[in-house]
Amino acid sequence: MRRKDFLQEPVKHIKINGKLSVDQLIQQFSNAGSFGAGRLSTACDIYERMIRDRKCTVFLALAGAMVPAGMRSLITDLIREQLIDVIVSTGANMVHDAIEALGGHHYKGHWAVDDYLLYKYHIYRIYDIFVPEEDFTRLDYRLAEIYDEIASKCTGRTLSSKEFAWELGKRLDDPDSILRAAYETRVPIFLPAVRDSEFGFIHWLHASREKCQNPLTVDAFKDVPEIVEICKQSPKNGMIVIGGGVPRNTVQSAALASKKGMDYAVIITMDRPETGGLSGSTLAETVSWGKVKGGADKVMVFADAIIIFPIIVASVIERLGEEFRREPYLKREKIETAIGGV
């Protein structure tokens, strides 16, 4: 590169002259193009391109307490609007979705409280959110019944985590529920660590009842070929990763195992690479594995996802406009054929 190639485009300073729409602000960030503002505007561009690319399947990897914190409707809407095609989540996010579907709530609280008092009051804290124990208890008993029902229907058959998620969604009567919306629209939800959540303890409750003859069995490995198959059948794949952990790793591994490599990648995280954990690993590192293509359209935003993801969605929805209707490449029926339905 010659010297002048480095000095092509001056930073244009952000101007806020009055009321701005979210995407107008993002355009200002794009003009500036630096630090987090540059990364965020790039993330919006990439998500827009994923959606407009008719050959791309969009994966959402979901870690962190995003559903308790207020992202439930947003994800449900993205599913129903077909702006997300596959979800890989922690169990906990779906547990909290089910809590609300069964009439429970998450309450605005505070991070500086007497946690021992909360303990005595049977209130659980998630940073600045409070959840009353009774909402978990209601969940436990209702879901244990649902497990009974699923088990009696599926006797002798083991489920994948995706089938399990759809079976739950089928039985949650709440249009705002992520699980319900995914079931209705045939968007696969994978829960690769389903055991590590209240779903695990509900299983125990269910399995240890006297009347339970054949407890529901979720096969830990059964969803591996399912998610890999999706990557394989899609000409292109894109991922939006919220947080890290198992959901990020599962999506990336599917891209690796299918020998496709992601074509688009947006990662929102506060983790950093130097301690070597996957959650903070760079997109460059994923290229060495083949999880993300060397030439992929990709960016990491180092920020709190509960701020950033809604901004990205708002910016992209504004760009797409009211009339935009997306037709996913992998039609929902096709997914069902490939990897099975409920």
Which 5-44 residues touch its own copies, going by CB under 8 A? Answer: 6-23, 25, 28-29, 31-40
Contact, 328 vs 57, CB < 8 A?
yes
- Decide whether 146 or 329 has the Cβ nearer to its own copies: 146
Contact by Cβ (8 Å): 147, 200: no
Stretch that binds its own copies, among 179-187, 230-238, 264-272, 331-339 (CB under 8 A): 264-272
Provide the CA 97 distance to its chain's centre, in angstroms.
12
Q: Does 210 bind its own copies (CB under 8 A)?
A: no
4 is catalytic: no
The pair of structure tokens assigned to 137 is 């208890």
Number of residues that bind its own copies (CB under 8 A): 133
Residues 63-122 that bind its own copies (CB under 8 A): 63-65, 68-74, 77, 92, 105-109, 111-113, 115-119, 121
| Separation in Å, CA 241 to CA 12, 43, 247 | 29, 11, 8
Footprint of its own copies on residues 164-203 (CB under 8 A)?
176, 192-197, 199-201, 203
How far is the C-alpha of 170 from the C-alpha of 168, rounded, in Å? 5
Which is nearer to its own copies, 29 or 264 (by Cβ)?
Answer: 29
Least CB distance to its own copies at residue 32 (A) = 3
Residues in the chain: 342
CA contacts within 13 A on the Cβ side of 163: 24
Taking the complex as a whole, how short is the minimal distance between the CB of residue 297 and its own copies, in angstroms?
15
Q: Which of 93, 177, 237, 249 is in the footprint of its own copies by CB under 8 A?
A: 249
CB distance 338 to 234 below 8 Å: no
Q: How far is the CB of 193 from its own copies (least distance, A)?
A: 4
Q: How far is it, in rounded angstroms, from Cα 166 to Cα 180?
A: 8
**Interaction with its own copies in 271-290: which residues (CB under 8 A)?**
271-279, 281, 284-285, 287-290
Sites for its own copies among residues 215-244 (CB under 8 A): 217-221, 223-225, 228, 243-244
Give the residue with the Cβ less far from its own copies, 71 or 331: 71
* Smallest gap from residue 199 Cβ to its own copies (A): 8
Shortest gap between Cβ of 154 and its own copies (angstroms)?
14
User: Is the C-alpha dihedral spanning 155, 160, 161, 163 positive or negative?
Assistant: negative
Report the nearest approach of its own copies to the CB of residue 114 (Å): 9
Task: Say which of 260, 291, 293, 298 is annotated catalytic.
Answer: 291
Considering beta carbons, is residue 182 or 329 the nearer one to its own copies? 182
Give the nearer residue to its own copies in terms of CB position, either 184 or 285: 285
Using alpha carbons only, give the angle 191, 290, 59 rounded to the nearest 5 degrees: 35
Q: β-strand 236-242 against 56-62: which pairing, if any?
A: parallel
Residue 340 binds its own copies, judged by CB under 8 A: no
SS3 320: helix
- E strand or H helix at 265, and its extent? strand 262-269
The DSSP bridge pattern shows strands 129-132 and 123-126 to be: antiparallel
Which are the catalytic amino acids?
291
